[in-house]
Amino acid sequence: MKITTFNPLIVSQNADDIISLFEELGFEKRHTPFIDTGDRKVIRTRMKDANGFYVDISKVESIPRDMTAVRMNVDNFQEAYDLLTAHGFRKAPGIEEVDLKTARALLMIAPSGFAIEVIEHIKD
């Protein structure tokens, strides 16, 4: 398994306020995809600063409070999932796996409480 991206991810109902803060810190919006899995709608904003640092901010209406996680893009979702599961990670409560034509993703929680969102972008 190869990690292709590794950066902070903030999940919040109040993403617009967080995006504004990061803009004041010098980050610029790169792109803002909308993900609709039917039962969950997510607006994800990817931001980058002049030093090359990235942060992702996801607007999720159903989350009860803000959550900070690590976004980890990989070239093999199943391999990453199996590795994290072997270390005690579990699917985040109330969050279902995203399985679309273009991506597969799941937010996983470590036994100690920190979170990693595993994402594999599927290319044709």
pLDDT tens digit sequence for 18-56: 999 999 999 999 876 666 555 556 788 999 999 999 999
Work out the number of other CB atoms within 10 angstroms of the CB of residue 8: 13
**Under 8 Å between Cβ of 76 and 68:** no
* Residues 51-83: tens digit of each pLDDT: 999 999 988 877 788 999 999 999 999 999 999
pLDDT given at position 39:
59
The label of the residue with tokens 């994290």 reads: 84
Quote the CA–CA distance of 13 and 86 in Å, as a whole number.
Answer: 31
pLDDT band at 8 (very low <50, low <70, confident <90, very high): very high
Q: Tokens representing 33? A: 């995809």
The contacts of residue 81 (CB under 8 Å, 6+ apart) are 106, 108, 118
Q: Tokens representing 41? A: 């709608």
pTM: 0.83
